[in-house]
Amino acid sequence: FAPWTDPDQKPIIEFRNVTKSFGDFTAIHDLSLNIYEREFFALLGPSGCGKTTMMRMLAGFETATSGDIYLSGKDIGHVPPNQRPVNMMFQSYALFPHLSVWDNIAFGLRRESKDKAFIGDRVEEMLRLTRLTKFAKRKPHQISGGQRQRVALARSLAKAPKLLLLDEPLGALDRKLREQTQFELMDIQEKTGTTFVIVTHDQEEAMTVASRIAVMDEGNLVQVATPAEIYEAPNSVYVADFIGDVNIIEGRATQPGTKTGIAWAEGQPPILATPAKSVEAGQSVHFAIRPEKVTIDVERPDRPNTFRGKVIDIAYLGNISTYHVELAGGQMIKAQMVNARRLANRHITWEDEVWVGFTDTAGVVLEE
Ligand code: ATP
């Protein structure tokens, strides 16, 4: 994976040491973050971690208790919502039921008293962008949920905001439509060049659409990185566990430096690993490894990091199978295999004694 570096990009948003408290509860703690022009940025985290509060401060519905928020280099702390080049699309869409699709999209432009020809052109352009031209005359109740979502998007983009905030925009759609709409969102974001900031608690959604993800925990940023970086090199057990499936094995570093062993069970060879940061001998660590990086074999493979285990459970999921294997000391580990490629392993079954393995760079060593 490539770490996120693009020297040409300018920050559109800068949070500078922002704290937000509600009474004596602090929802956001001294948070600093840059979001760059044309990014599709995702705020991701469990319920209550402060995602919506961040969005509401960007939109101007909340003011920071301390710290500053800059938009295109200007402090927007005291700029009211309607004077910010920012639009927010809510999960409920809030379309006007008595207005046609066309009039819903034109609504904001009319309120700004733009001239008729301008409004007409702009609405037509938005209809084309969101593939709604043939539904222009219908009312919201005469179109599907996915189409309503696109009307809301067209309406939010009609005024050409610099920044569009999307709060769980696909929450109301079923899984298939959600996936399709994610690709549409990405396409529209790219075509318009608008910076999108999306709030979601769905890690797959964030991974799919975003150029970068900020993982939040109780009002703090834990990691801000590309989807691949977050998946391949999570900086904490919290992130590793929140994004995708992961095995976490607790142990102690056996030697200092950036090549270490991890003692994890009595009488077992240590796990050989390459920590991103140098560790101290004796330090307690967590070893995190994705199930798809773990292999299982009947014959002992000739390489380090090979451990004896017993198959406890196999979940066949069509495209992949997940093997739950018990290692020494009751340590469980999950191994995932693509069925189409690993037909050779199909004969492995419950209770089989197997060899579990991984390379010394397949996992990450985490301090907490
Ligand atoms: P969800 O995914 O459930 O929407 P979230 O990450 O968006 O959660 P926020 O809505 O930002 O979370 O809320 C963060 C914290 O701040 C929560 O603990 C919430 O209860 C608290 N909070 C938010 N708004 C207020 C308010 N107006 N008064 C008091 N507490 C608030």
For ligand 1, atom 29, the nearest C-alpha belongs to 22
pLDDT, greater one: 186 or 278: 186
The count of structural domains within the chain is 2
341 pLDDT above the threshold of 70? no
Q: Are residues 209 and 267 in the same domain?
A: no
pTM: 0.90
Cross-strand partners of 221: 216
Identify whether 263 is part of a domain: yes
Residue 51 CA to ligand 1 center (angstroms) comes to 8
pLDDT score at 90: 74
Q: At which of 218, 237, 256 does a domain end?
A: 237
Q: Is the CB of 53 under 6 A from ligand 1?
A: yes
pLDDT band at 168 (very low <50, low <70, confident <90, very high): confident
CB atoms within 10 A of CB 196: 26
- Domain with 122, as residue range(s), is 11-237
Q: Are residues 60 and 176 in the same domain?
A: yes
pLDDT score at 113: 80
**How far apart are alpha carbons 241 and 244 in whole angstroms?**
7
Residue 22 CA to ligand 1 center (angstroms) comes to 9
Residues 6+ away with beta carbon under 8 Å from 161: 85, 86, 87, 194
CATH number at residue 288: 2.40.50.100
Q: At which of 180, 210, 237 does a domain end?
A: 237
Q: Is the CB of 43 under 6 A from ligand 1?
A: no
Instruction: Find the radius of gyration of the CA atoms of the chain.
Output: 25
216 pLDDT above the threshold of 90? yes
Identify whether 6 is part of a domain: no
Q: At which of 237, 260, 275 does a domain end?
A: 237
Residue 27 CA to ligand 1 center (angstroms) comes to 7
pLDDT score at 7: 58
Residue 127 CA to ligand 1 center (angstroms) comes to 34
Q: Is the CB of 48 under 6 A from ligand 1?
A: yes
Q: Is the CB of 25 under 6 A from ligand 1?
A: yes
pLDDT in tens, 70-129: 999 999 988 999 899 999 987 667 899 999 999 999 998 998 888 899 999 999 999 999
Q: Are residues 212 and 267 in the same domain?
A: no
pLDDT band at 138 (very low <50, low <70, confident <90, very high): very high
Do the beta carbons of residue 292 and residue 354 sit within 8 Å? Answer: no
pLDDT score at 367: 86
pLDDT in tens, 320-331: 889 999 998 899
CATH number at residue 50: 3.40.50.300
pLDDT score at 9: 76
pLDDT in tens, 349-363: 888 899 999 998 899
